[in-house]
Chains A and B, each alone.
Chain A
Amino acid sequence: MSTEKHAAAARKYLKDTAKVDWQDETLWLVRGKRDRLSKQIPEWEALRDAASRIKLYSNSHLPELLEQFESHAVANGAIVHWAKDAGEYRDIIGGLLTGHGVRLFVKSKSMLSEECGLVPYLEGLGIEAVETDLGERIIQLMGLKPSHIVLPAVHIKREEVGRLFEKEMGTEPGNSDPTYLTHAARRNLRQYFLKADAAMTGGNFAVASTGEVVVCTNEGNADMGTSAAPLQIAAFGIDKIVPDRESLGVFTRLLARTATGQPVTTYTTHYSAPRKGTEFHIVIVDNGRSRILADREHFRLLNCIRCGGCMNTCPVYRRSGGYSYSHFIPGPVGVNLGMASDPDRHKGNLSACTLCHSCEMVCPAKVDLAEQIYRWRQHYHTSAGKKAISDGMAFLMGGPGRFGAGLTVGPGAMKALKAVGGHWGKGREFPDIVSSKNLESIEKQDHGK
């Protein structure tokens, strides 16, 4: 994650053109798969519309639905915890693990655990926390953070994985074949799955009418962990609530098609009761979501189902990489979620959008992502230079006399802009300011004929 403004970080990232092009092509390929699959479903747009409406319904009825979820989950034999914030989330999970004497803990991918800093906290308690999603494991062993919410290691080259696994798992030197490396990780992680004292998942959906937590993965890592360990924890944000199974029919049709261009994830697992002789704990987390709900301009952010589709389509994300953003979630939804959590820290991401609106049309739950970036920009300004240009334009446009005078000096003004630090001129010529000719006269000339 970047500690500087997106524009500055992106400028550095763009120096390695070959890598930039590779990332762009890789992510565009995923967008292309999504396009092909979505076009095989005649009712695709009706599905998106339904998903958006279900989320608006759920998010405007959260107290009832959460309590309904809880009562069903408890009746099913699960133990439900509530966490106001990241600190409570860490305390609950840390307390459960230490209380059960857990030394080895396997977890599947959960953006909530990134959001709440779970793994470093557990390591501080002396618990070995192993990420089991292959991409997450690669990132964890490298000491990095995910650069994409669904494809966490999308920026890592196979050769880098080869060298990492040679050191960590004893694979053959120089072998960077993805199949070979994936199967090495399979063997390596098996021992953790079968030995783990506890397993944790996030949750893609939590069903109010049944008390089920639904987890979608391709690798089966969540399933391996939860099917073997004596203690299972599932933690999710309050916005994961859906009213009923009928809603799952809509979301499971959209999620994988948008995320990775598959008709469905390999595993769609519904957990409601603990396995015999084990405990199943559910942690429901707010951590700022109720604040988003209260924000009339931004509450639709809670529609997000974390599919990553907006990242794959974003022309800026594809060319600036996940680490150019200051928030742990990058791309269009990350710009917005960062602003919703800590605007002063994340306003440097607001520039990372051309307002092309592609994200809004890919989004399966119709979050108004670009429109929200427009709104944040009205309240949080990112650069003095931009303000000066905007002010200057607003002044010039204040009257045709000023505007005309501005156009007369236009060519000079463009050069001045370059001199005061406008970067237009690098790699791109300035346009010619053609003339300040009175265009309104065309009408008079025409009618005079």
Chain B
Amino acid sequence: MGSKESIIQALRSAAPQSYPKPDLSALKADSLRCGDLLEGFCKAVAASGGKTAFLEGNPEAAAKALFPDTDDIAVVPGRFGVAENGCVYLEEPEEGRRLDYFVHEALVIVLDRKEIVANMHDAYDRIGETVTGYGIFISGPSKTADIEQALVFGAHGAREVGILLK
């Protein structure tokens, strides 16, 4: 018997009573929704260490204006933002470009300001099919507190993250 079969068999004979799948609709309906999604989102981005700005004109120029101290900036599209925690959902625009999200000094995400959902429940309802088999929520710059719990931005990924709201 292969490992898979023996694991499945062990699980079948171990199975505790069958618990039903919970209905989450009441929880989702009652979940936190801030009044103004865009305002909530911008506040949450700031709390995560990121910046937001309204986009007028050229994204590359706006990105540079947001982070004037570096030339190493990736500008990428985001699908939607989440107001409760300031994260943005991104999908690789084309195969193999995902490293762009992490390897540059600054990451600038261009987002439609109407594309903000309230919370993670709404976010996961929104994702749908992923074309490239890869999707990510990003909330602010890479960070760590592994040395004496002191918060430091720029552990391995982007040191700075900005959201341009078009």
In the complex, what residues of B have CB within 8 A of residue A132's CB? Answer: 156
Q: Does residue A329 face the partner (Cβ distance < 8 Å to B)?
A: no
Q: Beyond A29-B149, A134-B147, A266-B140, is A250–B155 a contact (Cβ under 8 Å)?
A: no
Q: Chain B, interface size: which category?
A: 35 or more
B146 near A286 with CB under 8 A, answer no
Query: Which B residue sits closest to A25, measured CB to CB?
Result: B149
Q: Does residue B132 face the partner (Cβ distance < 8 Å to A)?
A: yes
Point out the residue from A41, A59, A134, A290 that lies within 8 Å of B7, measured CB to CB.
A290
In the complex, what residues of A have CB within 8 A of residue B47's CB? Answer: 263
* Segment 1-48 of B: residues with Cβ below 8 Å from A: 2-4, 6-8, 10-22, 24, 26-28, 30-32, 44, 47-48
In the complex, what residues of B have CB within 8 A of residue A50's CB? Answer: 22, 24, 27
A60 near B139 with CB under 8 A, answer no
* Segment 361-400 of A: residues with Cβ below 8 Å from B: none
In the complex, what residues of B have CB within 8 A of residue A62's CB? Answer: 11, 15
A82 near B4 with CB under 8 A, answer yes
Q: Chain A, interface size: which category?
A: 35 or more
Q: Please, what's the 1-or-0 string for A153-180, where 1 marks a CB less than 8 Å from any CB in chain B? A: 1101110010000000000000000110
Q: Does residue B133 face the partner (Cβ distance < 8 Å to A)?
A: yes
Point out the residue from B11, B26, B133 that lies within 8 Å of A76, measured CB to CB.
B133
Query: Which B residue sits closest to A78, measured CB to CB?
Result: B133
B148 near A158 with CB under 8 A, answer yes
Q: Beyond A82-B3, A82-B4, A266-B141, is A151–B146 a contact (Cβ under 8 Å)?
A: yes
B155 near A26 with CB under 8 A, answer no
* Segment among A268-276, A341-349, A435-443 that sits at the interface with chain B: A268-276
Point out the residue from A47, A77, A181, A293 that lies within 8 Å of B27, measured CB to CB.
A47
* Segment 233-254 of A: residues with Cβ below 8 Å from B: 238, 243, 245-250, 252-253
Name the distance in Å between B31's Cβ and chain A's nearest Cβ.
5
In the complex, what residues of A have CB within 8 A of residue B148's CB? Answer: 26, 157-158, 178
B135 near A220 with CB under 8 A, answer no
Q: Please, what's the 1-or-0 string for A131-159, where 1 marks a CB less than 8 Å from any CB in chain B? A: 01111001000000000000111101110
Provide the bound-state CA to CA distance between A189 and B119, in Å.
34
A263 near B139 with CB under 8 A, answer yes
Provide the bound-state CA to CA distance between A245 and B125, in Å.
8
Q: Does residue A265 face the partner (Cβ distance < 8 Å to B)?
A: yes
Provide the bound-state CA to CA distance between A158 and B96, in Å.
38
Give me the 9 closest cross-chain CB pairs, A-B, nearest first: A273-B133, A220-B157, A294-B14, A135-B146, A263-B85, A219-B155, A290-B10, A53-B22, A56-B19
17 more CB-based (< 8 A) A-B contacts, given A47-B27, A83-B3: A43-B30, A57-B22, A62-B11, A66-B8, A70-B4, A82-B7, A151-B149, A189-B156, A227-B98, A227-B103, A246-B121, A252-B120, A264-B139, A275-B98, A277-B96, A284-B4, A294-B10
